[in-house]
Chain A
Amino acid sequence: MNVIEVTDLQKRYGARRAVDGVTLTVREGEIFGIVGPNGAGKTTTVESIAGLRTPDHGRIRVLGLDPRADRQRLRTLVGVQLQESELPDRMTPREALDLFASFHAAPADPAELLGELGLADEQDTAYRNLSGGQKQRLSIALALVGRPRLAILDELSTGLDPQSRRETWRVVESIRDRGTTVLLVTHLMEEVERLADRVAVFREGRVIAVDTPAGIVARADPEQRVQFRPSSALDPQLLTGLPEVRSLQTFGETVVVMGRGDLLSAVTSVLARNGIVARDLRIEQASLDDAFIALTGRPTAQAQGTL
Chain B
Amino acid sequence: MNEWRSLLRVEAKLLYREPISWLAAVALPSAILLIFGTVFPPQAPDPALGGLRFIDVFVPSLVVITVGTLGIQTLPIRLATYRERGFLRRLSTTPAHPLRVLVAQLVTYVVTAIIALALLILVARVAFGVPFPRDVVGYVTAFALGTSSLFTVGLVLAALAPTARIATSVAIPTFFVVMFLGGVYVPRAALPDALIRIGEFIPPGVQGLQDAWLGIAPQPLPLVAMAILTVVAGAFAVRTFRWE
Chain A residues in the interface with B (C-beta under 8 A): 50-52, 72, 75-76, 78-80, 82, 84-88, 90-91, 95, 98-104, 126, 142, 146
Of B3, B13, B18, B86, which is within 8 A of A103 by CB? Answer: B3
A103 to B82 CA separation, bound complex (whole angstroms)? 18
Interface size class of B (residues with CB under 8 A): 20 to 34
Q: Is there a chain A Cβ closer than 8 Å to B10's Cβ?
A: yes
Of A75, A95, A98, which is within 8 A of B93 by CB? Answer: A75
B8 to chain A, nearest CB (A): 10
CB-CB under 8 A for A146 and B89, given A88-B82, A102-B6: no
Q: Which residue on A lies nearest to B84, using beta carbons?
A: A86
Q: Which residue on B lies nearest to A142, using beta carbons?
A: B90
Q: Is there a chain A Cβ closer than 8 Å to B14's Cβ?
A: yes
Known: A75-B94, A86-B87. 19 other contacts (CB 8 A): A51-B93, A52-B92, A79-B93, A85-B86, A88-B85, A90-B14, A90-B17, A90-B18, A91-B10, A91-B14, A95-B10, A98-B10, A102-B2, A102-B5, A103-B95, A104-B95, A126-B17, A146-B94, A146-B95
7 closest pairs, A vs B, by CB? Answer: A85-B86, A102-B6, A80-B93, A86-B85, A103-B96, A85-B90, A90-B17
B243 to chain A, nearest CB (A): 10
CB-CB under 8 A for A84 and B86, given A52-B92, A99-B10, A146-B95: yes
List 18 A-B residue pairs with CB atoms under 8 Å apart, sorted by A's residue number: A50-B93, A75-B93, A75-B94, A78-B93, A79-B93, A80-B90, A82-B89, A85-B85, A85-B89, A88-B87, A90-B18, A91-B10, A95-B10, A95-B13, A102-B3, A102-B7, A104-B94, A142-B90
A72, B14: Cβ atoms closer than 8 Å = no
Please give, as numbers and ranges, the residues of chain A lying within 8 Å of B96 by CB-CB distance: 103
Please give, as numbers and ranges, the residues of chain A lying within 8 Å of B92 by CB-CB distance: 52
Q: Which residue on B lies nearest to A50, using beta carbons?
A: B93
A101 to B2 CA separation, bound complex (whole angstroms)? 10
Of A52, A90, A95, A103, which is within 8 A of B94 by CB? Answer: A103
Q: Which residue on B lies nearest to A72, using beta carbons?
A: B95
A84 to B86 CA separation, bound complex (whole angstroms)? 7
Chain B residues in the interface with A (C-beta under 8 A): 2-3, 5-7, 10, 13-14, 17-18, 81-82, 85-87, 89-90, 92-96
CB-CB under 8 A for A82 and B86, given A102-B2, A103-B95: yes
A78 to B94 CA separation, bound complex (whole angstroms)? 8
Q: Which residue on B lies nearest to A101, using beta carbons?
A: B6
Please give, as numbers and ranges, the residues of chain B lying within 8 Å of A84 by CB-CB distance: 86
Please give, as numbers and ranges, the residues of chain B lying within 8 Å of A72 by CB-CB distance: 95
A98 to B10 CA separation, bound complex (whole angstroms)? 9
A104 to B96 CA separation, bound complex (whole angstroms)? 9
A142 to B5 CA separation, bound complex (whole angstroms)? 18
A63 to B87 CA separation, bound complex (whole angstroms)? 26
Please give, as numbers and ranges, the residues of chain A lying within 8 Å of B6 by CB-CB distance: 98-99, 101-102
Most buried by B among A79, A80, A88: A88
A51 to B93 CA separation, bound complex (whole angstroms)? 8
B122 to chain A, nearest CB (A): 30
Please give, as numbers and ranges, the residues of chain B lying within 8 Å of A101 by CB-CB distance: 6
A144 to B56 CA separation, bound complex (whole angstroms)? 57
A20 to chain B, nearest CB (A): 24
Of B14, B18, B90, B95, which is within 8 A of A76 by CB? Answer: B95
A185 to B89 CA separation, bound complex (whole angstroms)? 18
B84 to chain A, nearest CB (A): 9
Please give, as numbers and ranges, the residues of chain A lying within 8 Å of B13 by CB-CB distance: 95
A76 to B96 CA separation, bound complex (whole angstroms)? 10
A286 to B199 CA separation, bound complex (whole angstroms)? 75
A82 to B81 CA separation, bound complex (whole angstroms)? 17
A85 to B17 CA separation, bound complex (whole angstroms)? 21
A82, B18: Cβ atoms closer than 8 Å = no
Please give, as numbers and ranges, the residues of chain B lying within 8 Å of A85 by CB-CB distance: 85-87, 89-90
A82 to B82 CA separation, bound complex (whole angstroms)? 14
Most buried by B among A51, A101, A102, A126: A102
A273 to chain B, nearest CB (A): 62
A87, B87: Cβ atoms closer than 8 Å = yes
Please give, as numbers and ranges, the residues of chain B lying within 8 Å of A98 by CB-CB distance: 6, 10
B95, A75: Cβ atoms closer than 8 Å = yes
A88 to B79 CA separation, bound complex (whole angstroms)? 10
Most buried by B among A84, A85, A104, A146: A85
